[in-house]
Chains A and B, each alone.
Chain A
Amino acid sequence: MADTRKRGKRGKRGMRGKRGRAGSIATHAVLSLGALVMVFPFLWQLLTALKTLAETSRVPPTFLPDKWNGASFEEVFTALPFREMLTNSVLNTVGRTLGQLVFCSLAAYAFARMRFRGRNVLFALFLSVLMVPSSLLVLPQYDIIQGLGLLNSAPALFLPGMFSAFGTFMLRQFFLALPKELEEAARIDGAGSFRVFWSIMLPLLRPALAALAVITAMWSWNDLLWPLIVNTDPAKMPISAGLTSLEGQYETNYPVMMAGSLIASLPMLLVYVFLQRHFVQSVALSGTKG
């Protein structure tokens, strides 16, 4: 961000004539139009949620609500066990994210910094998980969850998602990039492997851990197929699966559906607003570290 500002100043000072300014205005026009296309559906979602059902079935549609009306937001909570669903989504998200942070960072550290027999074979085997589409796994995964007596529970939602090849690969790349000197110094001082990992390496890895956390949180919050399969009891569903039943129940009641979908997507949007930098980093990494 800082460098854009710098560039902006240089651009102004520099040899930009009329043509440059016109080009800049045209660029902004195109980009703003695109941004409008990206954001407008959400504005329409909000405006619809605040209208009455009668108003949304008017032709031509009104843009702003005649009477601002928040009743749909209350109705969502009575139509579905919405509070429970939101809680389940949080449990799912936290469970998967914490699991990945712990399990992936441990394994990534070993793969990056330790020497042991079969390391390359094991690493290749772990990476192969990336290539397998989830539809190849969900049938037996369902049987396992059922066998554990966990169907319709929070652990059912997050158990398989706690282990990630992507996370392991990404964190390993970061460990490889860290300087070895610190680690060696600590070892000379007599610190054990776990001590070195926990109090020296992990703190250095904080940006990578944050990037992995936000992207995992997003995938977990948004996941649909797996929750649909394991938790069929509405009170045990996360919000993504819950919304689909709202559609069945309120076929044409769009204010209620818009209110529901708005509440359901809001938590992740807030995370995005506050941790945007890490989102961008995790995506950029997945694209350039290849």
Chain B
Amino acid sequence: MSVFPSTAASKAAGRTAATRSKPRGQRTAYLFIAPLGLGFAVFYFWPLLQTFYFSFTEFGAFGGHTFIGTDNYLRVVKDVTVWQALGNTLFYSLIGLTALPVAIVVASLLNRRGLRGVAVYRALYFVPFVTLPVAVGLVWNWLYNGDFGLLNEMLSRFGVDRHYWVSDPSTAVYAIGTVMVWSSTGYYLIIFMAGIKGIPRDYYEAAEIDGAGALRRFFTITLPLLSPTIFFASVICMINSLQTFDLIYIMMAEKNPAIGDTQSVVGLFYKWAFIENAQGAAAALAFLLMLLIAALTYLQFRLQKRWVHYG
């Protein structure tokens, strides 16, 4: 999850700090920070440097690394499976974004004046997000099952032929994407409900007196005033779905013929790093993924000027 530090807040903190900068007070501060700092150093900063180093080396069969320059990066760029995984991953992020409009619509329905049972609805919509993704994957595999699955049974009532949703390469990404949207909608719903709560009721009441219908109010009040929240949610959504792994890992059994068509970048990374012993190339792949995430996040920040209204 990403949170944006506000420099204004930290400046304010500086002014309001209770202690003057005496050496003794400083030492206490460092003691407070030390445990976390040590943990970050050992488990985050040092590994980050190491992965960077790994990406320029080849791992020997009996341990040890040989420096091989940019070979790993070349291998990554030339590998077709990488491009396929990249395409799949971008597809998942696009599909994942469809959870946002769904969540916005539900959130504004829940915002209806005098509606009862809001807490109950919110609780129910959030359940898929809380549930273990591995369990979610198994449940949906069963619903999607080609021979005895409930989905085929329901569709057959409408004359749709039975289909092997998860093992057919042409439908597998959609099948997985649907589950992604289904399980994340509740999360965005809560974010949007919090955002809508911040819109003054008077706006709606004034618009109602002026004769604006529900749709009109949605498009002229809710959407523009919610746009900073929508922006935030879309950044989170993209960062998360670019790193998607769990659902695909569980939904695609080892012998599934659609594995290549559904594999995500992190899935490929896992395979290279921990199954095929290609750690160097895996490290290079991980760096390219980070570049991609950074580039797309930057792009979103650039584009926000065109559609986000800060009140």
Minimal beta-carbon separation of A192 from chain B (angstroms): 8
Let me know if A269 and B130 touch, CB within 8 A: yes
Let me know if A243 and B138 touch, CB within 8 A: yes
Minimal beta-carbon separation of B297 from chain A (angstroms): 8
- For A112, the closest partner residue in chain B by CB is B13
Minimal beta-carbon separation of B216 from chain A (angstroms): 14
- For B43, the closest partner residue in chain A by CB is A160
Beyond A31-B109, A106-B32, A144-B47, whether A139 also contacts B279 by CB under 8 A is yes
Partner of A254, one of B142, B279, B285: B142
A104 at the B interface (CB under 8 A): yes
Inside 8 A of B158's CB, which chain A residues have their CB?
none
A80 at the B interface (CB under 8 A): no
A59 at the B interface (CB under 8 A): yes
Q: Please, what's the 1-or-0 string for B88-109, where 1 marks a CB less than 8 Å from any CB in chain A?
A: 0000000000000000001001
Partner of B243, one of A114, A135, A286: A135
A77 at the B interface (CB under 8 A): no
- By the criterion of a CB under 8 Å from any partner CB, how many residues of chain B are at the interface? 111
- For B40, the closest partner residue in chain A by CB is A163
Let me know if B142 and A257 touch, CB within 8 A: yes
B145 at the A interface (CB under 8 A): yes
A16 to B297, CA, bound (A): 45
- For B266, the closest partner residue in chain A by CB is A135
Minimal beta-carbon separation of A28 from chain B (angstroms): 8
Let me know if B186 and A280 touch, CB within 8 A: no
Minimal beta-carbon separation of B85 from chain A (angstroms): 12
A208 at the B interface (CB under 8 A): no
Let me know if B245 and A42 touch, CB within 8 A: no
Let me know if B36 and A168 touch, CB within 8 A: yes
Let me know if B54 and A140 touch, CB within 8 A: yes
State which residues 11-36 of B face A: CB under 8 Å.
Answer: 12-14, 16-21, 25-26, 28-30, 32-33, 35-36
- For A175, the closest partner residue in chain B by CB is B13
Minimal beta-carbon separation of A135 from chain B (angstroms): 4
Beyond A7-B114, A59-B148, A116-B25, whether A272 also contacts B130 by CB under 8 A is yes
A139 to B5, CA, bound (A): 29
A187 to B28, CA, bound (A): 14
B165 at the A interface (CB under 8 A): no
B206 at the A interface (CB under 8 A): no
Let me know if A35 and B109 touch, CB within 8 A: no
Inside 8 A of B217's CB, which chain A residues have their CB?
none
Let me know if A287 and B148 touch, CB within 8 A: no
Residue from the set B12, B42, B130 with the largest chain A CB neighbour count within 10 Å: B130
Let me know if A224 and B13 touch, CB within 8 A: no
Residue from the set B32, B43, B46, B112 with the largest chain A CB neighbour count within 10 Å: B32
Q: Please, what's the 1-or-0 string for A172-193, where 1 marks a CB less than 8 Å from any CB in chain B?
A: 0100100010011001000001
Minimal beta-carbon separation of A200 from chain B (angstroms): 11
Let me know if B43 and A225 touch, CB within 8 A: no
A-B pairs with beta carbons under 8 Å apart, 7 shown: A132-B48, A133-B286, A163-B43, A258-B138, A261-B135, A280-B122, A287-B233
A residues near B (Cβ < 8 Å) are: 1, 4-5, 7-8, 10-12, 14, 16, 23-24, 27-28, 30-31, 34-35, 37-39, 41-42, 44-45, 48, 56-61, 99, 102-104, 106-107, 109-117, 119-120, 122-124, 126-127, 129-144, 159-160, 162-163, 165-166, 168-170, 173, 176, 180, 183-184, 187, 193-194, 197, 218, 221-222, 224-225, 228-229, 239-241, 243-244, 247-248, 251, 254, 257-258, 260-262, 264-265, 268-269, 272, 276, 279-280, 283-284, 286-290
What 5 A-B pairs are tightest by C-beta distance, nearest first? A11-B114, A287-B191, A163-B39, A261-B135, A140-B47
B residues near A (Cβ < 8 Å) are: 1-5, 9-10, 12-14, 16-21, 25-26, 28-30, 32-33, 35-37, 39-40, 42-44, 46-48, 50-51, 54, 106, 109-110, 112-119, 121-128, 130-136, 138-140, 142-143, 145, 147-148, 150, 153, 182, 185-187, 190-191, 193-195, 198, 214, 229, 232-233, 236, 242-243, 245-246, 249-250, 253-254, 266, 269-270, 273-274, 279, 282-283, 285-287, 289-290, 293-294
